[in-house]
Amino acid sequence: CADARFPPGLFNMSSLSTSAVVHRSLKVDFPRIIGSKGNYVILEDGRRIFDASGGAAVACIGHGDTRVHDAIAAQLKKISYCSTIFYTTDVCEKLCRELVDSTHGVMKRAYIVNSGSEAMEAAMKLARQYYLEKVPPEPSRMRFIAREHSYHGTTLGSLSMGGHVTRRAKFEPMLLDCVSRVSRCFPFRDKQGSETDLQYVTRLADELDREFQRIGADTVCAFVAEPIVGAALGCVPFVPGYLKAMKAVCDKHGALFILDEVMCGMGRSGTYHAWEQDDAVPDIQTLGKCLGGGYQPIAGVLASKKVIEVFEKGTGVFVHGHTYQGHPIACAAALEVQRIIREENLVQNVSNMGGLLSARLQDLVASHPNVGNVRGSGLFWGVEFVMDKTTNKPFPSSLGVAFEIAELGLTNPYSMAVYPSSGTADGVNGDHIIISPPYNILATDVETIATTIQRLIIDYFASKKA
């Protein structure tokens, strides 16, 4: 989900700088990876980099697991491809069943696609079609309410849904105008004075309620949110009670509640689905990265009983489809990744190691003048940098602080990959790095991650002062 960074020579596109953040990155030579094994990637010069970000929060069981290789090879020998217009496959059905079961049956069906952006496109269209299938139909419902500084993908529909200012900027005239926006849930920057969590949540729910009324509740398909904001804000979790409160507003106005768990889902947050932590079941949910752990491109959409019942009584056909949806090889890889996560009790390990990591990262806030905030859940943590801790003023986005820190991390002696996310690069939301290691890390790895990141941050800011 990172902005495209074009290695020189591979694509001759290095003049296609798309933002201040990206243009800095275009100037660096890309380290070339020649292998990856376990929780390390191996560079051309032989150095091993600890993958503390799992790529873009993807590699949840680490790299090069031969059990997944074997599952892919076995499936390849059986069925390499089939069109889901004509056929179904055991492997796809089994994966969908597992996903449904992972929700304790509150979601009823799954739809398998190739990327998080595709999953979001499908979720939008599913919501729209739901209102056309309903008896009586509600054809006026074609609008969405999403949040500021969210990220839902890069295709035009999903980009329209997202509120990532710089990702949208150049394409603004091409984006859908059926999306309006409410505030994000970001206590570090947006809580007012001595506001309690409950008061903050109530304020945000009231704002959503007013937005429904402003644009006409009967025109709204759904409210859409990431339970833990990933790429745009650096791992900002919902405040307790927030998801529940937002869902209640949707229910009041007869609109659907869609949660985008592409980045935070499938165990990353310490529970299988992040919404479990607020007991707020979505009507539609998207999944991605840790579904296949990077072994194949795969993502999914889950639809609740409420949605599926309407389709069952209606046409029964979701008017949508991709050539490679439900791809058997991708499904086989995801099934094996999910088997490993389940049988090795890795979500519990995410929760346990997340507790340790949280405590160690919080030390950074106390100990470094440029670390303004640390937040996250499970093994999904964001460290936000500020110019001045008394005001929490962010660095100018043109400095590319998060990217520089991530680039320094790849060098000796740190040799650790963290994921840079630079907010909306509008000089308001600041720079953050995401730490999202594989689910199988040990307490010793947590210690390595924490001490290396501390060293990295100290050295980076010291070099800027020098």
Q: Taking Cα atoms as reference points, which of 263, 66, 92, 233 lies closest to residue 166?
A: 233
- Output the residue with the shortest Cβ distance to ligand PLP: 116
User: What length is written for the chain?
Assistant: 466
Q: How many CA atoms lie within 13 A of 366 on its CB side?
A: 6
d(CA 284, CA 306): 10
Q: Closer to ligand PLP by CB, 116 or 378: give it.
A: 116
Confirm or reject binding of residue 151 to ligand PLP (CB under 6 A): yes
Least distance between ligand PLP and beta carbon 147 (Å): 11
Closer residue to ligand PLP, CB minimum distance, 60 or 231: 231
- Reading phi first (left if > 0) and then psi (alpha if -120 to 50, else beta), residue 115 is in beta
Cβ(208)–Cβ(395) below 8 Å: no
| Cα–Cα distance, 197 to 463 (Å, whole number) | 38
Q: Kindly report each contact of residues 78-82 with a partner whose C-beta sits within 8 Å and lies 24 or more positions away, as own/partner.
A: 78/328, 79/328, 80/328, 80/329, 81/324, 81/327, 81/328, 81/329, 82/328
- Our finding on whether 260 is near ligand PLP (CB under 6 A) is yes
**Helix runs in 293-389, H state only:** 305-313, 328-343, 346-367
Asked whether position 120 contacts ligand PLP by CB under 6 A, the answer is: yes
Interface segment toward ligand PLP; rule CB under 6 A; list 257-265, 314-322, 386-394, 427-435 = 257-265
Nearer to ligand PLP, 292 or 372 (CB): 292
SS3 of 401, please?
Answer: helix
Shortest Å distance, C-beta 255 to ligand PLP:
20
Q: Does 205 bind ligand PLP (CB under 6 A)?
A: no
Of residues 356-415, those binding ligand PLP (CB under 6 A): none
Q: How far is the CB of 261 from ligand PLP (least distance, A)?
A: 7
Pick 263 or 425: Cβ nearer ligand PLP: 263
Sign of CA dihedral 266, 268, 273, 275: negative
Q: Is residue 270 close enough to count as binding ligand PLP by CB under 6 A?
A: no
152 sits near ligand PLP (criterion: CB under 6 A): yes
Nearest Cα neighbor of 403 from 391, 387, 385 is: 385
What 3-state class would DSSP assign to 157? Answer: helix
**231 binds ligand PLP, rule: CB under 6 A:** yes
Verify binding: residue 287, ligand PLP, rule CB under 6 A: no
Rounded to a whole number of angstroms, the minimum distance from the CB of residue 126 to ligand PLP is: 15
**Judged by CB under 6 A, how many residues of this single chain contact ligand PLP?**
18
By the rule CB under 6 A, 226 interacts with ligand PLP: yes
Residue 420 as a binder of ligand PLP (CB under 6 A): the answer is no
Site residues, ligand PLP (CB under 6 A): 1, 56, 115-117, 120, 151-154, 226, 230-231, 260, 262-263, 288, 299
